[in-house]
Structure 1
Amino acid sequence: MPQGSILLVHGTGVRLGKYEKSLEVAEKTASECSLGRNLFPCAWGDSLGVEFEGLSLPDVPTAEVELKAEEDLAQWIWILDDPLVELSLLGIPDGSAANAGVLNPEGPTPAEQNLEQVRAYAPSLEFRQLLARGGLEDVWEPARTRILSDKVTERAFEASEHEPQEAFRALARALVAQLHVEAISRSRPALSAVHREKLVQRLLIDWKQQVFGISDRFLKFVARAGTRYVRDRRNALNAVAALPLGDVLLYQTNGAKIRSFIKSKIESCPAPVTIVAHSLGGMACVDLLALGDIPQVDGLVTLGSQSSFMHEIGSLSSLKPGEKLREGFPRWLNVFDRNDFLSFFASRIFPNAIDFEVASGQPFPESHSAYFGNEVVWTRIRSFITGRE
């Protein structure tokens, strides 16, 4: 393998402490993949990135208010993702049904009677008004058909014969969640929390089941898993949104200093240099290499890059909308992950780019930072450097 170096350029929102950890992981994984080049750091964030103290962020609520908000949001996150999730939990026998009493074998069971009641339900004037308020009149029937025809609903009522209110409550929420799903699929506005609750409460009133709230079993599930999920998602998304957003905006107005910093690092590395650049770092490197020849650079690898997207919308600093890369632009490998919503396909915008898809198995935003420790990524980089495409 020819001698040379790899310059590791970080992306948005990264500061030295986090970068050093990423560099350590990258060096270890690259070594395990028999990539015998030295990795050199290019940490521009501390000196050139945006300064952000968080003064513009809302105050942290009290623990009681935060817990209540997390529970409310968590339960709907689960249900809107899968409208049948609460009903499916009710359909898991808990042993209580054995105490429901002897059923009449010759007539419909209480569960069948309850299901027949909701299947025969004709929306009241009040419920129709709530549907009209959200422009949902035409999606009620498909939502109703989808939920009531599923065996999950039938099993939930059978398992809840001893406490049918739980099944009614879960069904009302499932129907409203499916209304939301149907609306979104038709490019309608999402239902607000207030509108959702009014729809749920009206269904329960119409069904004469005025016991609101979620099922005890689902509440325990939400308290254990849901609120932790919401807290983790919120913390992770805040990390993606604060410094990174500031760095992107700063780059758009003052990218020349960042490009100059990267260029100076390139010139200090042993040639030939392969640049491995993440996120905004990749966009800065595409701009830098598009603006002029840097002989030391033999190849560019972008990880989770927005370069193609920015050029498609006419926001790449180095190129006018529709303009092609200069002759002699270095070989380019673009690595993307479909779970990383900040990564994009490049070769349809830049024909000289080679796209390579990886699957980190991580949700967003963790997927955006999962490239450095991925052996598949470094093995592909090794092939790219050695010319074994």
Structure 2
Amino acid sequence: MKNPVFVIHGVANRDLDGFTAAVTALQAATGVDMLPVYWGDLGAEDRFITAALPTRDTAPRPAGGPGSVLRDEAPSAAPSYLFADQPYLADQLEIVDTALRNELESDPGPLRGAPGAGGPTPDDIMACLATEWPDTRWLSRTGDPALLAETGRALAQTLLDTDTLANDAYGYDGLRGAPAGEPGRLRALVRRRLQDFDRIAGAAIGAVAGRVNDAVRTRFGPGTTRFLGDVLVYQRHRDAIHARVRARIDEVDPRLGRSPERPVRVVAHSLGGVIAVDMATAQEPLWTEQLVTFGSQSAFFHVCDPRGGQLLPYSGQTPVQLPASLGRWTNLWEPLDMLAFAASQVFRLDDGSSPADRPVPHAATTGLWTHSAYWDLPDVATAIAEAMADLPADTD
């Protein structure tokens, strides 16, 4: 009869009963005898993780009063229109300039007037805009051409609106009558309108970003931060966690995993897969004939920071040779799982073949945080059953 498959959980698992129930359900789905290997009590202290997560309520508001998106610094000296030291500003203003001129030319408004009428020209407007643009908080930081073009068109429409300008302290009448040597009124009008547009852009960007940020932190934040916490603890206490795995195997048979004649079979999720690969490739390895990982990171960790043991660093040219102590490896990943990585480009098995990277379809019912969804996916159970069935049974 085949020895049981040992199942090693991943990060943020602090519920022994829940993990045991998940393994029992997976055993029923696969028809493979399984034993849970629990190490969660050795993981990171995660009760107070939320205290370190920023929220919109605790984030300081920008300077300038409630809801303000304007910077607190004093206006800078008038920069060169070309912004030689900040070329991205010139690129932004080129888009604004084109949209503004096109809008002015498409409307026979009062600023166009007859030649010599004394109104500001598009060049006058852009000179003022170039002076004020670096002091915007949001517009000067956007790379969205559509937003920049709309700003140019909106500014042109403001300057073409005679009703609005007639009621403005710095309105059209003042602009037409202002001597050429006194551009202050035009600059004041451009500044006020640009600040209005900047506030609107900031409110829209802030609202969208805030909702996205809240959603990311609410749905992904706890899982991601607990993942990082357990990774940090594993790096420091690897020996203790490996000893826990070894002790669980010894409860079944102390000979298991000690030699190529008595290898083990392992299924592992997330960081559990890293644990399994680290143990199978250690100088004194856990001999593993079949490994199935899902949502795991061994390849990612190894290319970032070589794992040691019998593994050479990844050169970027050829895959890293795995020792004979890791016989076969099926690596499952879900398309939306941000914590799942491929193994076949980084590693080669001892027989020259690659680990079998196998995607599992995304199930709409799992939502966006899919890292913990593998346990209930039928395709995962099928892959495990196929991998474990493709081995001869023990006669001992």
SS at match of 1:249: helix
Aligned to 2:382: 379
Report which stretch shifted further, 48-57 or 310-319. Answer: 48-57
Inter-CA distance 344–205: structure 2 relative to 1 (3 Å threshold): same
Aligned to 1:99: none
Residues 314, 320 of structure 1: 8 Å contact kept = no
Aligned to 1:252: 235
Aligned to 1:15: 13
| Deviation readout 1:95-122 (Å, 9 max, x if unpaired) | xxxxxxxxxxxxxxxxxxxxxxxxxxxx
Aligned to 1:232: 215
Residues 23, 36 of structure 2: 8 Å contact kept = no
CA RMSD of aligned residues (A): 4.5
Aligned to 1:4: 3
Aligned residue type for 1:341: M
Report which stretch shifted further, 264-273 or 308-317. Answer: 264-273
2:280 is aligned, of 284, 289, 293, to: 289
SS at match of 1:372: helix
Partner Cα separation in structure 2 for residue 24 and residue 142 of structure 1: 60
2:88 is aligned, of 135, 150, 166, to: 135
Partner Cα separation in structure 2 for residue 53 and residue 62 of structure 1: 18
TM-score, normalization: structure 1?
0.57
Residues 126, 202 of structure 1: 8 Å contact kept = no
Aligned to 1:53: 48
Partner Cα separation in structure 2 for residue 23 and residue 141 of structure 1: 63
Aligned to 2:270: 279
Partner Cα separation in structure 1 for residue 281 and residue 337 of structure 2: 25
Deviation of 1:367 after TM superposition, in Å, equals 2.2
Alignment of 1:193-272 (within 5 A): 193=138, 195-196=140-141, 203=152, 206-209=155-158, 210=193, 212=197, 230-269=213-252
Report which stretch shifted further, 2-11 or 298-307. Answer: 2-11
Partner Cα separation in structure 1 for residue 88 and residue 140 of structure 2: 12
Partner Cα separation in structure 2 for residue 336 and residue 347 of structure 1: 12
Aligned to 2:162: none
SS at match of 2:237: helix
Partner Cα separation in structure 2 for residue 316 and residue 346 of structure 1: 14
User: Gaps spanning 5+ residues in structure 2: where?
Assistant: 62-66, 68-77, 100-135, 159-192, 257-262, 315-319, 350-354, 392-396
Alignment of 1:25-40 (within 5 A): 25=22, 27-32=24-29, 35-40=30-35
Aligned to 1:368: 371
Aligned to 1:88: none
| Deviation readout 1:81-140 (Å, 9 max, x if unpaired) | xxxxxxxxxxxxxxxxxxxxxxxxxxxxxxxxxxxxxxxxxxxx9996789747264578
1:312 aligns with 2:269: no
Deviation of 1:381 after TM superposition, in Å, equals 0.9
Aligned residue type for 2:379: V
Partner Cα separation in structure 2 for residue 194 and residue 265 of structure 1: 59
2:357 is aligned, of 355, 358, 367, to: 355
SS at match of 1:335: strand
Partner Cα separation in structure 2 for residue 64 and residue 309 of structure 1: 33
More helix by share: 1
Aligned residue type for 2:296: S
Deviation of 1:203 after TM superposition, in Å, equals 3.5
Inter-CA distance 22–359: structure 2 relative to 1 (3 Å threshold): farther
SS at match of 1:339: coil
Residues 32, 385 of structure 2: 8 Å contact kept = no
Inter-CA distance 197–46: structure 2 relative to 1 (3 Å threshold): same
Inter-CA distance 133–251: structure 2 relative to 1 (3 Å threshold): same
Deviation of 1:62 after TM superposition, in Å, equals 4.1
Residues 340, 368 of structure 1: 8 Å contact kept = yes
Inter-CA distance 64–248: structure 2 relative to 1 (3 Å threshold): closer
Residues 50, 250 of structure 1: 8 Å contact kept = no
Report which stretch shifted further, 47-56 or 326-335. Answer: 47-56
1:335 aligns with 2:324: no
Higher-RCO chain (CA-CA 8 Å, sequence separation at least 6):
1
What is the number of residues matched between the two proteins? 278
Aligned residue type for 2:243: S
| Deviation readout 1:248-282 (Å, 9 max, x if unpaired) | 12222321111111121222247774311111111
Aligned to 1:321: 313
SS at match of 2:376: coil
Deviation of 1:356 after TM superposition, in Å, equals 1.1
Partner Cα separation in structure 1 for residue 80 and residue 328 of structure 2: 61
Aligned to 1:160: none
Deviation of 1:380 after TM superposition, in Å, equals 1.0
Aligned residue type for 2:13: R
SS at match of 1:4: coil
Deviation of 1:228 after TM superposition, in Å, equals 5.8
Inter-CA distance 60–317: structure 2 relative to 1 (3 Å threshold): same
Aligned residue type for 1:312: V
Partner Cα separation in structure 2 for residue 62 and residue 312 of structure 1: 38
Report which stretch shifted further, 279-288 or 192-201. Answer: 192-201
Deviation of 1:314 after TM superposition, in Å, equals 3.5
